[in-house]
A and B are shown apart, each in its own frame.
Chain A
Amino acid sequence: MNSVHDIGGTDGFGPIHRETGDSVFHEPWESRVFGMSMLGAGLAPIPLDARRHQLERLSPVQYISSTYYERWLARIDAALVEAGTLTRDEIDKRMQMFAAQPDLPISRREDPLRAQGIGNILRAGRSAARKIRQQPRFAAGDKVVTRNLNPHGHTRLPRYARGRRGVIVAHHGAHVFPDSNAHGLGENPQHLYTVRIAMRELWGDSAEANENLLIDLWESYLERDKTAATSRALKNPSARKKVVAKTLPPAVVRSLARSRRGLGKTIRRSR
């Protein structure tokens, strides 16, 4: 979604202020919001992609005028009310109570098993990598163009990086696809690549010199760069063969070589 969160390249946010001190949380309430979020905040579990998208759907003014944890708090608050777990009235009344008596402690409920278990869960993490049957379409060295996708839903292809030419520098196997997973449409994992895009390609003549962006993009965000392909194929069929041979299993390389189409032709010619 093209909302204000997609902020790469936007002007006007001024100098970067650096706080002094090393405290992780600036206010105690921030740490409680963080902790509650990590524990699911009493909400039905949804994937991280969906949680990110909920933040993106905060109103633009709220998004840019809130601090980081104010956004997390706004997300939880809205989600709890929407789910009917808490009512707006309940929350307001409780806020008034604490405003009247700021020293009033929060009631506690102890769950030692949960407290111990959460450490293990955090330590294990949750990998987004998945095995899929489809072969990767691209390989390191391939010239690609990022597509001009403008979904109203969740995506991880930022506006500043759409319709740009770049080069594949790494293939990470397949990962859960956020554009789908954020909307409860399934994980639909796709091959994930790191793509290098020159700063000049992003920003034109006013870009600083000798700089590159490296960004991780799913296969459906990318197309082969047709304008580059022809010249490369003419210049470097043997290099291409090496890259292909490295990334694909030998059986696949042989079967491609046998077919009369696409890569097969290039490999055959260089033999």
Chain B
Amino acid sequence: MNGVHDIGGMDGFGPIHREANEPVFHEDWESRVFTMFVTGAGLPPVTGYDGARHRLERLDPVKYLSSSYYERFLAGMESALIETGTVRLDEIEARIRQLAAKPDLPMPRREDPAVAANISALFRAGNPASRKIRQKPRFAAGDKVLTRNLNPHGHTRLPRYARGKSGVIVAHHGAHVFPDSNAHGLGENPQHLYTVRIAMRELWGDSAEVNESVLIDLWESYLEKDKASTKSRAQKNTGARKKVAEKTLPRAAKVQARTASAKRSLAQQPPSPTLTSAGVAGRAKTGRTRAERGSAGGGRGSGRTTRRNR
């Protein structure tokens, strides 16, 4: 969602204020809110942190920008509890009035020694987002990619400032839970995750500072191959490309692999207006991506091919 939270590149928020010896929590209530938020208190676990993040994004923009960090957590939690019917707004308001009238009213306590004992183990175990999936990664380190111009009204982790930009894959992290889906209770639908390097100049144009880049972690469906680069690389290097292809596979396998990989990549890709059967056939003719060459040669083959291309 293009919410005000998506703030990369925004002007007007002034200098960065730094507090000397900043305490972890400025007020007691912040520590209580943090704990409730992080342990998902009273909320169905289905959407996890992705859903919680999206809830924050959906706060009223004025509220979002004028709240402190933990005020936002509190507001987000409150909206979740009300939305799920766990607590009603009138209950919260009545309790607020009660506490305002009698600030020393003791907090009710409920003891659960088993949960308390388990907390530190829970925190140490964490909640890894990595998953195993059968699909092979479409990209590999060194690939030139273009971030897509996605503008979902729902949750996404592709910020506005980084859409439609060309960059380079610098790392592949295996597959991770996909937030755009998970935040809405539509399932984890893990996808391959990559770190992409984008030059500052690419993001901001001529007014960018020099010698800088952004490294950002993006899921596979956020990315497309950068056709503009590929073409120029192919145009410059058809001889080299042909040599590599000839080196890697026997002739018959090459022909077979070409058609098979074209079909596979068609199945993997999200629907795109630029993807036509003619385009796919064309790509299969002029050359395959590193991933396609690798996958045609078998799982281990991709690694060897990549190294050889360097």
Are chains A and B touching in the complex at the 8 Å CB cutoff? yes
Residue of A at shortest CB range from B58? A12
Bound-state CA distance A148–B11 (Å) is 16
Assess whether A38 is interfacial by the CB under 8 Å rule.
Answer: no
Chain A 1-26 interface mask (CB, 8 Å, partner B; 1/0)? 11110000111111000000000000
User: How far in angstroms is the closest Cβ of chain A from B296?
Assistant: 30
Interface of B is mostly: loop
Whether A11 touches B3, Cβ cut-off 8 Å, given contacts A64-B61, A148-B204, A205-B273, is: yes
Partner-binding segment picked from B84-92, B105-113, B147-155:
B147-155
Bound-state CA distance A56–B273 (Å) is 37
User: How far in angstroms is the closest Cβ of chain A from B84?
Assistant: 21
Q: Check if A1 sits within 8 Å of B11, measured CB to CB.
A: yes
User: How far in angstroms is the closest Cβ of chain A from B236?
Assistant: 18
Q: Check if A147 sits within 8 Å of B205, measured CB to CB.
A: yes
Q: Check if A2 sits within 8 Å of B10, measured CB to CB.
A: yes
Q: Check if A10 sits within 8 Å of B3, measured CB to CB.
A: yes
Q: Check if B4 sits within 8 Å of A2, measured CB to CB.
A: no
Give the number of residues in A that approach B within 8 Å (Cβ atoms).
35
Chain B 26-58 interface mask (CB, 8 Å, partner A; 1/0)? 000000000000000000000000000000011
**What's the interface size class on B, roughly?**
35 or more
Q: Check if A12 sits within 8 Å of B10, measured CB to CB.
A: no
Residue of A at shortest CB range from B160? A159
Bound-state CA distance A159–B10 (Å) is 10
Interface of A is mostly: loop
Bound-state CA distance A149–B163 (Å) is 15
Interface hub of B12, B149, B273 (most chain A Cβ within 10 A):
B12
Q: Check if B2 sits within 8 Å of A9, measured CB to CB.
A: yes
Q: Give chain A residues whose Cβ lies under 8 Å from the Cβ of B65.
A: 4, 60-61, 64
User: How far in angstroms is the closest Cβ of chain A from B275?
Assistant: 12
Chain A 165-176 interface mask (CB, 8 Å, partner B; 1/0)? 000000000000
Assess whether A59 is interfacial by the CB under 8 Å rule.
Answer: yes
By a beta-carbon cutoff of 8 Å, the part of chain A in contact with chain B is 1-4, 9-14, 56-57, 59-61, 63-65, 147-152, 159, 162-163, 200, 202-207, 227
By a beta-carbon cutoff of 8 Å, the part of chain B in contact with chain A is 1-4, 9-14, 57-58, 60-62, 64-66, 148-153, 160, 163-164, 203-208, 228, 271-273
